[in-house]
Amino acid sequence: MAGTGEQARQRQAHEGARSDAQEREPNGARSDAQEQDRSQEAAQRLRRLNAWRAAARALDRPPVELLLGERLAALAAGAGAVIDLDRPADTYGDGVVAELEGRIADLLGMEAAAFFPTGTMAQQVALRCWAGRTGNSTVALHPLAHPEVHERGALEAVSGLRTVHPTSEPRLPTAQEIRDFAEPFGTMMLELPLRDAGFVLPTWEELEAVVAAARERDAVVHFDGARLWECASHFGRELPEIAALADSVYVSFYKSLGGISGAALAGPESLIEEARTWRHRYGGQLFQQFPAALAALIGLEQELPQLPSYVAHAKLVAETLTESFPAAGAGWFRVHPKPPHTHQFQVWLPYEADVLTEASVRQAEETGVAFFRRWFPAASGPPGVSFTEVTVGREGLEWTAADVRAAVGEFMKRLA
């Protein structure tokens, strides 16, 4: 499993996150070979999307796979149930955007919330504001946290912040690791769940303890709650009680709620007012954002109440996978974590990623079942080991253990 930020960045490279400098010739033109590679990858991506869209059954159907007309129709169909449509839309953050901000503050039990076009911007602003208030620009976070792996060093390059890692284990830090860490820091950021380690969470008692340890060091606590919505089942607590442990919380609207885009930063009124200023400076004060805000409100209405059932059913799917792989002839495999902490988890197999992805696509094309999706090379460990992320959504609730066993058998046939 990936254990450092550098290893995770290698995974990002495998996913195709290459810089312009890597893709272009010295004179700025793309070579014929590079253009051919891009064309082939585009064709493969279209094939994958078509196979998964056409499949009669799937564990989850992310909205990103819908066609433009389908997404627009869904937005129009759901909007009237969440807000009065006989009113102005929004201008620079009022109207439906302000309605969404108030809803998020209430849901999380925070004083205020501000809508941001991206979670990257929301967390940049939050951590920058806390650095100014604490007088310490050092942020303690995990090397697999989103800012370290997926934001191209933005915390340092854009905001002048410095990051440190109390642990490199594929889990969040313990209270003792926070107490023993040799350097001072002004803010501790915890990603709940830690996605690149397998959507893992601490226990409620461990979370309380690590937060208390940070406060003993006079640090503020910020939660990267991009997927906070599905954490309540694992902790056995309501969202306001979870959010109350932190000084500020960021949540995403498109990851678990099926929104179009956007995020919110919630916290004390004074922090959110300062965040609005920095949002404008960062270019996030958009003229109109009503489609994203409406989609977020629809997600809060339709998906949020269903997440506990998705989490519960993911445990059945994961348990059945554990039983089914040996019966289907898998010599080695791993389901992680076991049981899942949320409705998402990882599956590892000892094959090359492109071989596993091809088997996934062929299964969808030939049987009408989209079981696994895309696979990625493991960032650490022996060569030839790959993993995929499994999500159990609304469609997955219809799957029985027998359905899972049959899907595993069909998948393994295509690896023979």
Q: What is the CATH number of the domain that holds 250?
A: 3.40.640.10
pLDDT at position 30 is 65
Please report, as a single letter, which amino acid is at residue 360.
S
Residues 140, 194, single domain; the answer is: yes
pLDDT at position 11 is 45
Residues 324, 372, single domain; the answer is: yes
| 396 located within any domain | yes
pLDDT at position 9 is 40
Residues 99, 228, single domain; the answer is: yes
Domain that holds residue 250: 88-301
Residues 165, 297, single domain; the answer is: yes
**End-to-end Cα, the chain, rounded Å:** 25
Residues 220, 314, single domain; the answer is: no
| 192 located within any domain | yes
The tally of domains found in the chain comes to 2
Residues 197, 212, single domain; the answer is: yes
| 271 located within any domain | yes
Q: Report the alpha-carbon distance of residue 287 to residue 93 in Å, rounded.
A: 8
| 58 located within any domain | yes
The residue from 301, 319, 340 where one domain ends is: 301
DSSP result, 248-316: EEEEESSSSS--SS-EEEEE-HHHHHHHHHHHHHTT---S--HHHHHHHHHHHHHTGGGHHHHHHHHHH
**pLDDT tens across the length of the chain (416 residues):** 333 434 444 444 444 433 333 444 445 556 788 888 888 889 999 999 999 999 999 999 999 889 999 999 999 999 999 999 999 999 999 999 999 999 999 999 999 999 999 999 999 999 999 999 999 999 999 999 999 999 999 999 999 999 999 999 999 999 999 999 999 999 999 999 999 999 999 999 999 999 999 999 999 999 999 999 999 999 999 999 999 999 999 999 999 999 999 999 999 999 999 999 999 999 999 999 999 999 999 999 999 999 999 999 999 999 999 999 999 999 999 999 999 999 999 999 999 999 999 999 999 999 999 999 999 999 877 789 999 999 999 999 999 999 999 999 999 999 98
Residues 159, 297, single domain; the answer is: yes
pLDDT at position 36 is 84
Please answer whether residues 170 and 198 qualify as being in contact, where contact means their C-beta atoms are separated by less than 8 angstroms: yes
Residues 393, 270, single domain; the answer is: no
Residues 99, 193, single domain; the answer is: yes
Please answer whether residues 164 and 148 qualify as being in contact, where contact means their C-beta atoms are separated by less than 8 angstroms: no
Residues 220, 99, single domain; the answer is: yes
pLDDT at position 387 is 97
The residue from 267, 282, 301 where one domain ends is: 301
Residues 155, 237, single domain; the answer is: yes
Q: Which bin fits 262, alpha (ψ -120 to 50), beta or left (φ > 0)?
A: left
Residues 188, 219, single domain; the answer is: yes
pLDDT at position 383 is 87
| 18 located within any domain | no
Instruction: Using the Cα atoms of residue 156, residue 159, residue 161 and residue 166 in order, give the sign of their dihedral.
Output: negative
